[in-house]
Amino acid sequence: MVKTVFRCAPLTCKFFCACRTPMADLHSRRYDTRTTTFSPEGRLYQVEYAMEAINHAAMCIGLKCKDGILIGVENRTVHPLLDPLAGSEKIYKLNDNIACSVAGITSDANTLVGILRLQAARYELQNKEAIPVQQLVEHVANHKQFFTQIGGKRPFGVSMLYMGWDERHDYQMYMSDPSGNFTGWKGICIGANSQAAMSLLNQEYDPSADLKTMTKFCVKVLAKTLDVKISAEKIELMSLQRVDDKTVMKKLRKEDLAALISEYEELEKAKEAALLLQQQMKKS
């Protein structure tokens, strides 16, 4: 008796056999790989992936207070042989009134920082005054949004926090994401564990606090939300204030950071001891 073996034709097997990729997967990948193609649900997957990459980047936190603004960042690149003057900074000064921090792909951030500095210098040269903060943020946000509309290019994989001052709107803080959207904030956190940090901000943020109090609060948020034990080598803090009609940006030294961290740890130990004593008194 002769057995007859039936084999699927290549075209039929491609679409219907279990041994090949299902049609649904083929359709999803078609929208997945192209920056400018909308999915049937109206989504741009590559833009969403770029925004999701920020959630795995080093944390950045921005806080606005009554007498200034503060930015704190996590520094993951810690190595004894690393030269800190060779471009390992996470906070960038754009002009005399504006600075920014970044979360995401550092090479993309360097490109955008160059665009920001060029636009700020060009505006000041043409108009004999410093560029307004919102105008500078909008300029680079438009540039980022442009890269979500052009085939053959990818979105910038970086979110940025801006802090600045101008005569029209006083102290300002903005956040822009890879889609080109930007928003103003009083307190904001981006990067890894940003949801936990935002939850803490919603509970304890006080906009009427001064810069000294806000600096301690920033250290507290970083200590509670970082994946590693906080130390002076693993964080950076920079403040922006107006002193004698001039904008002053100050980056905290390692010694000052170590003192703030020690103060925070002592307060936490005191709270734990008080809580333990209270529990023992209840039991007795």
Q: pLDDT tens, 3-12?
A: 554 454 444 4
Domain ranges of the chain: 58-273
pTM: 0.82
Run of H or E residues at 236: strand 235-243
CA distances (Å), origin 98, targets 59, 150, 195, 231, 238: 20, 30, 26, 27, 12
CA distances (Å), origin 284, targets 69, 145, 270, 271: 48, 64, 21, 20
| The residue type at 259 | A
Q: pLDDT tens, 8-26?
A: 444 444 443 444 444 444 4
User: Which of 86, 85, 77, 82 has its CA nearest to residue 57?
Assistant: 77
Minimum mean pLDDT range among 21-35, 133-147, 218-232, 262-276: 21-35
CATH superfamily placement of domain 58-273: Aminohydrolase, N-terminal nucleophile (Ntn) domain (3.60.20.10)
Helix (H, G, I), strand (E, B) or coil at 84: coil
Contact status, residue 196 vs residue 164, Cβ threshold 8 Å: no
Tokens read off for 32: 């997945």
CB atoms within 10 A of CB 64: 22
Q: What percent of the chain has pLDDT over 70?
A: 86
**What phi and psi, each to the nearest 5 degrees, are found at residue 78?**
-115, 115
Taken in order 40, 46, 48, 52, the sign of the CA dihedral is positive
Question: How large is the average pLDDT for residues 74-94?
Answer: 75
Task: Give residue for tokens 């900074």.
Answer: 89
Question: How large is the average pLDDT for residues 46-67?
Answer: 91
Tokens read off for 212: 């000294």
Tokens read off for 228: 């590693």
CA distance 215 to 200: 15
